[in-house]
Structure 1
Amino acid sequence: MGTTIGSFADIIGEDRKARQEHSWTGSFLDYLELVRQDPSIAKLAHARLFEAVTKAGVTELGETDDPRLNRLFGDERLKVYRYFEKDFFGIERSLAQIVRYLHSAALRGEESRQVLYLMGPVGAGKSSLVVKLQRALEEAEPVYAIDGCPIAEEPLHLVPVHLRRSFSDVLGVSIEGELCPLCRHRLDTEFNGRYEDVPVVRVAFSRHRRQGIGVVPPVDPNNQDTSVLIGSVDISKLDRFSESDPRALDLSGAFNVGNRGIVEFIEVFKNEPEYLHTMITATQEKFVPAPGRHGTVYVDCAIIAHSNEAEWQKFKADHTNEAIMDRIVVVKVPYNLRLTEEIKIYEKMLRESQFRAHIAPHTLEIASMFAILSRLEP
C-alpha cells in the first residue's frame, strides 16, 4: 500500500511541478522580451489550433501498400493526422479538409475570415470532431494574456497604434486588434497610460471553465438575445457605475469567452438568420458589438459551426442567406463506408464501454457489414 500511495504522490508532484512551470507572471516589458525571443508566442487562434492538431505527426495515406486503399483513393495523396487516428475512422478526406482550412487560415488567407461549417447526417461524428479540436487547445500550451482582462486578450494590444510598425519590425510579428473597453479604462485609470507596467499572466484553455472555448447552443427563435454572443450590461453594478462606464460590462458572451480559441455553434441553422449576423461580423471584421454604448470588441477565434444536411439544404434554398453562405467553408462529414474502419469504430465503442460479455467470432464484421449496407443508396 505504501508503494501505491508513494506512486500517487509522485504523479501528483510531477503534475504540480509541470503546472508551476507553465504558470508565469510578469510585466508587459517582460512579455515583449519573450516575444522577441520567440515570435510564435503571439500567434493567432487559427495558427494555434493548426499547430495543436499537427504536432502529433502527419503521414500520407498514399504510402500504404493496401491495394484496397489504392483503388479507393487512386493517386490522391491524402494526409492522415495522428491526432485523430484513434478516434475517427473512414473520414480521412473530411479531416484533411478541416486541417487544410486551418492551415490556410493560419497563414491569414481568406479562410481566416470564414466560418468552418461541418455538415453531415445524424451520428456522423460532427460534434465529436469539434470536441476533439477543443481538446487540442486544452492540451496546448497556455497563452499569455493581460491580467484581469475578461476576454484574456493578447497583451500586444497595449501597443499604441502609432508605434505598432516599430514594434512589429523589432518583434517580427504583426500586431492587430484593439483593447477591450475594460482594459482601455484600466490602462487610463489604474496605470495612468503606462502600458509597460500592465501585468501579464498565462491562461490555459478550458471548455468547462469557459476559458478560450465558447459554445453557442440553439436559441429559441422567440427569445433570441444577443447577450449569449456578446455579453451584456451587468444590472447589479449600475448602482455603482453608470451605464457608460466599462466596469458595468459583463463580457461573458460566447465570443468574449472564445477569444484566442474556438467558438462553436451547435445546430447553427436552427437560429434565425438575423441572429447569425453577429457571427458574420466576427468572422469578417474580427469585431463584435460591445453591450450598451461601448463601441466594439476585437475577437480572435476560430468559428466552427455544425448541423445536419437537411437544415443546410433548407438554409441554402433561401436566397436571402447568400451573404452568409458566401462566408462559410463547408466540410462534409459522411458516414463511413469502409468495412475495416467500421469494425474499428465498434472495437473502440467496446473498449470505452463496460461490456465484458463474450462476443462470438465475426460478430463485429457482420454488424459492420449490415451498418454499411444500410447506408448505401440504390
Structure 2
Amino acid sequence: MSTVNGASLMQFLGSIQDRKQFQTLNWRGSFADYLDLVAQDPKVTRNAFQRIYDMIMSYGTEEFIDAKKRLIRYRFFSDETFDGDDAIFGLEIPLMRLVNFFKGAAKGYGTEKRVLLLHGPVGSSKSTIVRRLKKGLEHYSKTDEGALYTYDWYLGQVDDPATFDWRQVPEAEWEKCPMHEEPLHLVPLEHREHFLAQLNEGHSAEEQVRISGDLCPVCRFHFRDLMRRYDGDWTSAIKHIRVRRLLFSEQDRVGIGTFQPKDEKNQDSTELTGDINYRKIAIYGSDSDPRAFNFDGEFNIANRGIIEFVEMLKLDVAFLYDLLGASQEHRIKSKKFAQTDIDEVILGHTNEPEYRRLEHNEFMEALKDRTVRIDIPYVTRLRDEERIYNRDFNRKRVRVHIAPHTLEVAAMWAVLTRLEDPKKPNLTLLQKLKLYNGKSLPGFTEDNIKELRKEALREGMEGISARYIQDKISNALVTNQEEGYINPFMVINELESGLKNHALINSEEDRKRYRDLLATVREEYTEIVKNEVQRAISADEEAIKRLCGNYIDNIKAYTQREKVRNRYTGQYEEPDERLMRSIEEKIDIPEARKDDFRREIMNYIGALAIEGKTFDYRTNERLHKALELKLFEDQKDSIKLTSLVSRVIDKDTQEKIDVVKARLIRDFGYNEQSATDVLNYVASIFARGDTKGNY
C-alpha cells in the first residue's frame, strides 16, 4: 500500500527547494554594493541588444558546409535541451542574418536604431523565433552570466542618513522603479563623464561601462524631491535606494512586452506608453504629476528587454508612428510627459500581404527606412522538415504507432510544394529536393546546387506550411486510433482531402499542382518501400558474404588473367562472366566500364591489405547495394511474395515470409500490422508485374 500522503509530499517539496539559489536570484544591496558588482563585472550594465547577442552566443555555435557555403548553426535556436518545443530546424541562413543584426546593434554599428521585422509566409517560424528569444531572456536573466539589476525607492523620513540601514525598511514601503531602469541612471548627467573615467580606469575598450539614457518621470520626480530634502547631498539621497536583481518574466510583465493588434475602434496608444491613473489625481492634484500616471504600457514594461509586435503591420498608422522615436531615438512619449528613454529591442513580424501594403504606402517611408527586414521562409531541406514532425509526433507524445516513412512522405510533399520548378530540363522537382537534401546525383555538382538556389529567388516563400501538415497528421492519428497505427497512405489521404477546404489556396491550378505532387510522393514512397522489403529479404549476412567472396574470386582471376578454382569440383575454370555482370548491372555499370570497375575494387582491396586491413563489402556502398540486389533477385521467387495476394501460402513460404517480417520489425521500425501491410503492398506490386526501378 502506498505511503504517500500530504505530509510526505510537503516534506518532499521542501527538500528539493534550493533556498541558496532563491537568495541569489533575489539579491538586495545598497547602491555602493551595486558599484562593487559593476567594478567586478561590467557586463551587468549591458544594454538590451548586447544582452541578447551574448545570450545567443552563450549556447555556442557549430559550422558546417552546405553546397560549398560555410554556414553557422546557433545552438540557441536548434538545441532541444533549451526548449525542445521551440527548436528551429533548417533556417540557418535567416538566423545568421538575425544574429548579425544583434551583433551589429551590440557593437553600436547602427542597427540598434532599427525595428527588426521578421517577414514570411504563415507558419514559417516567425513567432517561434520571437518566442524563443523571449523565453531565452527569461532563462538567461536567472544565470550568473545574464544577471542584471534595477532599484527601488524608500520615500519615508530618515533621521540620520549616515546611520540609516536600508535592511530595516519593511518590504511594503519600497516603491519600485516602474521601468526597472539601470541603477547607473542615478548618477547625475553632469557628473557621468568624470564618474565613468574613474570607473573604467584600467579596463579595455570592450569592458568599459557606458551610461545611456536618463531617469523615467517617476524616478526623476523622486530623485529631485530627495535632493531638495538633503540640500543637494547626493550621497544622502542615494541612501534611499535599494538595488535588487532583476528577473525577466513575460507573465509578470517584466522586461518582456507583447502588443497585439485589435479592432481599430478599440486600439489605444496608452497600451504602449501608459495612462493616467484617475484615482490618484485626487491624491496628487494634477494629471501631470508622474505619481498619478501608470507607466505600465508595453514599451514601459519591456524596458531593458524586448517588445514583440504581433502582426505588426496590421497596427493602426498612429501606432506605427510611436515606433519611429522608439527605434531611432530610443525614446517614447507618454501623455503629459516629456520623452522618456527606453532600452529595448523592438521586434515585429508580419506576413507578405501586409508587407506589400506597407511597400505601396508612400506615407510610411519613415518606418520603412527604420526597418530591417529579415525573410523567414519555409524549410526547403527534407531532413529538417522531417525533424519538425519527429519532434511533434515522437513516441513520448504519441501512443499510436507511426509506421516508417510516414512523417518522411508528409515532409517530402511539404517541401515539394515550396520549391520552384528547376530551369534545367534534365532535372525533376523530386531530384532537386534530393540534391538540396545532400544526395549526390550523376551529372550534378555542389556548384549546380548553388546555381539552383540562386535562380530560385522566392523559394520557400510560398507553399504548404508545416502547420497544415501537423493538423493532418493529427487527424490521421485520431481517425485511425482504433487501428493502433498510421502509415504513409493514411496521411497522404488526409493531406489530399484537406486541399479542397484549405483557406489559403485560392486557385484550382494550385490545388491541381499540389495533388500532382502528392502523386509524385506516392510513387517515391513505393520505390522506397520496395527497396526496404528487398533489403529485408536479402538481409542474410552469410549469403551476402558468400556471394561477395565468389564475386571477388572471379574479378581477381579476371583482372590477373587467371582461372578460378571451382570449390565443388576442384577444377579450374574461366571467370564467371555471367555472375560478374549480373551483379554489376544492378548498379548500372555498363559493359564498356566493367574493366574499370573491377580494377577499382581490386585496387581498393590491395590498398587495404597494405594497411593491414581486411576488405569488408559494407565499406563499399555501391558494391554492397549491388550484392543486396543480386541476392534479392535470386531469393524473391523462392519466397513467393505474390502468394500473399492469392492468400494461398504453403508452410515453407510462410516461414520465409515470417523471417522477412521479423527483419522489418527488428531492423526498420515496423510493428506487426504495418510490416504485414507493407509486405501485402509490395506483393500486390509484384502480382501486377510492376517491378521497375531496382527490380
Q: TM-score, normalised by structure 1?
A: 0.92
Shift in Å at residue 306 of structure 1? 0.2
Equivalenced residue count is 366
Deviation of the 1:41 alpha carbon: 0.7
CA distance in 2, matches of 1:319, 1:11: 63
- For the residues of structure 2 that align with 1:223 and 1:352, how far apart are their CA atoms? 45
Deviation, structure 1 residue 322: 1.3
2:76 pairs with one of 83, 89, 92: 83
Asked if residue 171 in structure 1 is aligned to residue 199 in structure 2, the reply is yes
Q: Which has the higher helix share?
A: 2
Q: Give the superposition deviation at 1:362.
A: 1.1
Could you tell me which residue of structure 1 aligns to residue 316 of structure 2?
A: 272
Higher relative contact order (CA 8 A, sep 6+): 1
The question of 1:186 aligning with 2:186 is answered: no
2:149 maps to which of 119, 144, 147: 144
Cα separation, 2, equivalents of 1:96 and 1:2: 54
1:206 matched residue in structure 2: 249
Give the AA of the match of 1:319: E
How do 1:62-73 residues align onto structure 2 when only pairs under 5 Å count? 62=65, 70-71=66-67
Deviations 1:170-205 (A, max 9, x none): 223111111011111112334635353222111200
String of CA shifts for 1:329-365, please: whole Å, max 9, x gaps.
Answer: 1111100011111110001111397321011111111
Structure 1: segments with no counterpart, 5+ residues: 63-69
2:183 to 141, 149, 155: 155
Distance 1:77 1:359 in 2: 35
For the Cα contact (< 8 Å) 1:118–1:306, is it kept in 2? Answer: yes
Task: Give the Cα–Cα distance (whole angstroms) in 2 for the partners of residues 118 and 284 of structure 1.
Answer: 18
Asked whether the 8 Å contact 1:29–1:196 carries over to 2, the reply is: no
* 1:196-235 equivalence runs, <5 A: 196-197=238-239, 198-235=241-278
Deviation at 1:222, TM superposition (A): 3.0
Q: Name the CA shift for 1:184/1:211 in 2 (closer, same or farther; >3 Å).
A: same
Bigger mean CA deviation after superposition, 22-31 or 80-89: 22-31
Q: Secondary structure at the match of 2:283?
A: coil
Please tell me whether the aligned partners of residues 228 and 254 of structure 1 are also in contact (alpha carbons under 8 angstroms): yes
Change (3 A) 1:219 1:171: farther
Q: Secondary structure at the match of 2:62?
A: strand
Corresponding residue for residue 288 of structure 1: 332
Q: Percent identity?
A: 39
What SS does the aligned partner of 1:239 have? helix
- The equivalences for 1:340-355 within 5 A come to 340-351=383-394, 354-355=397-398
* AA aligned opposite 2:23: Q
Match of 2:346 in 1: 303
User: What's the TM-score once normalised by structure 2's chain length?
Assistant: 0.51
> Is residue 2:248 matched to residue 1:245?
no
Matched residue type, 2:220: R
Partners of 1:274 and 1:341 in 2: CA distance = 40
| Stretches of structure 2 lacking an aligned partner (at least 5 in a row) | 81-86, 142-146, 153-175, 201-208, 422-695
Contact 1:232 1:249 (8 Å CA) reproduced: yes
Q: Secondary structure at the match of 1:199?
A: strand
Task: Report SS of the residue matched to 1:84.
Answer: helix
| Paired residue type of 1:188 | R
Contact 1:249 1:291 in 2 (8 A): no
Match of 2:59 among 36, 42, 56: 56
Structure 1 residues 99-120: Cα deviation after superposition (integer angstroms, max 9, x where no partner): 1111111111210000111001
SS of the residue 2:180 aligns to: coil
Determine the C-alpha separation between the residues in 2 that align with 1:305 and 1:357: 38
Which secondary structure state, in structure 1, belongs to the residue aligned with residue 44 of structure 2? Answer: helix
Q: CA deviation at 1:279?
A: 1.1
Code of the aligned partner of 1:149: C
Shift in Å, 1:244: 2.1
| Native 8 Å contact 1:36 1:170 kept in 2 | no
Instruction: Say if 2:94 and 2:375, in contact at 8 Å, map to a contact too.
Output: yes
Aligned to 1:261: 305
Equivalent residues in 2 for 1:39-54 (5 A)? 39-54=42-57
Residue of structure 2 equivalent to 1:67: none
Maintained 8 Å contact 1:220/1:271: no
Higher strand fraction (1 or 2):
1
Whole-angstrom distance in 2 between the partners of 1:352 and 1:300:
44
Instruction: Report the Cα distance in structure 2 between the residues aligned to 1:94 and 1:287, rounded to whole angstroms.
Output: 29
Cα deviation code 1:279-314 (max 9, x no counterpart) = 11111111111222x212110000000011111111
Find the residue that maps to 1:263 and give its secondary structure.
Answer: strand
Instruction: Tell me, in whole angstroms, the C-alpha distance in 2 between the residues paired with 1:213 and 1:130.
Output: 11
Q: 1:9: Cα distance to partner?
A: 3.9
